[in-house]
Amino acid sequence: MSIEIRRGQAPEPHSREVFRERFMQAFFDPAFAPEQAAIDRLEAIAWQAYTEGRKAPRTEKAGPGFADPDYDLSIEWAETHRRLKAAQARWHEPGGPSRVLLVAGGSRNDGTCPGEMSKTYRLTRLARLAFEAEGIETDLLDLSWLTSDYGRHIHPCKGCVSTAMPLCHWPCSCYPNHALSQTGDWMNEIYERWVQAHGVLLLTPVYWYQAASPLKLMIDRLVCADGGNPDPTSTGGKKADRAKAIELAGWSYPKHLAGRAYGVVVHGDVAGIEGVRRALSDWLEWMGLIDAGALSRLDRFIGYYEPYATSHDTLDRDTAVQEEVRNAARSVAQAVKAIRFGHHAEPGSGLVRPRPK
């Protein structure tokens, strides 16, 4: 069977003039003006990296354990790969502490334009105290840092899976791309935090009928956890034809986060909460995470059709939803303990999917 690679969508490379205009946007502040000569020199170096496509300017040999030991791996990818192996080892330690990753998915915090913390963050703190009362270690991942922290990014997924599953590497190797100035990618740290967790509790508001954009960015970049290829040398990096050939020969679709318990808390003020809760639950279960029970999956309105200006006051009064969030955390804590000590048998866990994807 011949493999055809469809091409013709990508735009033409930038001219030097357009590239310089883009590069100089970072130096709009007049305070940079005294260093214009130095900035011009940096722009010339960046232009050269762009035209030569120097995505990974620093590499190391892949070494033993890879399909091509002589392949030049990005040192940044290789370091993340080693950290994920160490995190997985921590997850397997039978005598180690039980850990839960708490994900606050809202965009708002008081360190940026809104000027006020999010209700999601407040609910996350309630959940954290409930976990600690159960003897569970917590790791709070506040995705609102994307909106308030200098140079922090979760770059968008490039859709490698849709070309061929083996082209999607675990962890993602699309970033950093130094030639395109796609750097500062937070996911290299976030992957490690997911791997070492025995359970995950996601909390998110609903923005325009969907999860907040920081959460969606993370979700898309976690696609490599579900069937991702842990060996970029097998595809020669990003060689589409080689990845297609590997997939067509039979791909195992490894589930790198399977076996962790999960819970979901979704809140909103008008509509969309049920759809977001279902979508998040379906996504987590598809990756092989284990439902922690009915009380761990919560969708609630806080201040239904009430003013945004008083929504925190409404949350103060809604002691029932506060307790429901605590119960979601307690359910995940119980599931983590049951899974870790062999007391939880997930129905269907020994069955093989006839159509993995």
Q: pLDDT per residue over 232-241, tens digit each?
A: 999 999 999 9
DSSP annotation of 169 reads B
Amino acid sitting at position 324:
E
Whether 222 has a pLDDT exceeding 90, the answer reads yes
pLDDT of residue 353: 75
**pLDDT surpasses 70 at 345:** no
The percent of residues in the chain predicted with pLDDT above 90, rounded, is 94
| In the predicted structure, residue 18 carries a pLDDT above the cut 90 | yes
Q: What number is the average pLDDT over the span 164-190? A: 97
**Residue 255, token pair as written in the block:** 């589930």
Is the four-CA dihedral 64, 68, 74, 76 of positive or negative sign?
Answer: negative
Closest CA to 88 of 285, 296, 230, 283: 230
CA distance 77 to 171: 7
Q: What is the pLDDT of residue 349?
A: 66
- The pLDDT confidence band at residue 130, using thresholds 50, 70 and 90, is very high
Residue 347 has pLDDT above 80, yes or no: no
Burial degree of 348 (CB within 10 A; 0-12, 13-18, 19+): exposed
Question: Does residue 158 register a pLDDT over 80?
Answer: yes
Which are the contacts of 274, defined by CB distance < 8 A and separation ≥ 6?
Answer: 299
Q: What's the pLDDT tens digit per position in 287-321?
A: 999 999 999 999 999 999 999 999 999 999 999 99
291: which 2 tokens? Answer: 């439902």
pLDDT recorded at residue 103 = 98
| Confidence band for 352, pLDDT divided at 50, 70 and 90 | confident
Strand partners, 211: 206
Token couple for 300: 């609630």
β-partners of residue 205 are 267
- Reply yes or no on whether the pLDDT at 154 is more than 80: yes
pLDDT at residue 343, rounded to an integer: 72
Give residue-wise pLDDT tens across range 44-57. 999 999 999 999 99
Give φ, ψ of 267 to 5 degrees: -130, 150
- Give yes or no for residue 147 having a pLDDT over 90: yes
pLDDT (0 to 100) of residue 35: 98
Judge if the upstream peptide bond of residue 205 is cis by omega within 30 degrees of 0.
no
- Please give the C-alpha separations between residue 205 and each of 107, 195, 266, 272, 322, in angstroms, as whole numbers: 9, 24, 6, 10, 15
Q: What is the pTM of this model?
A: 0.95
Share of the chain above pLDDT 70, in %: 97
CB 105 within 8 A of CB 120: yes
Q: Residue 124 corresponds to which tokens in the numbers above?
A: 């996350």
Closest CA to 357 of 168, 77, 158: 168
Residue with tokens 């290299």: 188
For 312, half-sphere exposure in the C-beta direction (CA atoms, 13 angstrom radius) is 8
For residue 210, the SS3 value is strand
Selection from 195, 193, 197, 190 nearest residue 175 by Cα:
190
Q: Find the mean pLDDT for residues 151-177.
A: 97
pLDDT at 92: 95
Mean pLDDT along residues 207-231: 97
Confidence of residue 342 (pLDDT cuts 50, 70, 90): confident
What's the pLDDT score for residue 74?
98
Identify whether the C-beta of residue 255 lies closer than 8 Å to the C-beta of residue 225. Answer: yes
Confidence of residue 356 (pLDDT cuts 50, 70, 90): confident
pLDDT band at 98 (very low <50, low <70, confident <90, very high): very high
How many angstroms separate the CA atoms of 103 and 343, rounded? 26
Instruction: Indicate the pLDDT class of residue 354, thresholds 50, 70 and 90.
Output: confident
The radius of gyration of the chain from alpha carbons, rounded to an integer in Å, stands at 23
Q: Is 293 helix (H, G, I), strand (E, B) or coil?
A: coil
Question: Residue 354 has which token pair?
Answer: 């006839």
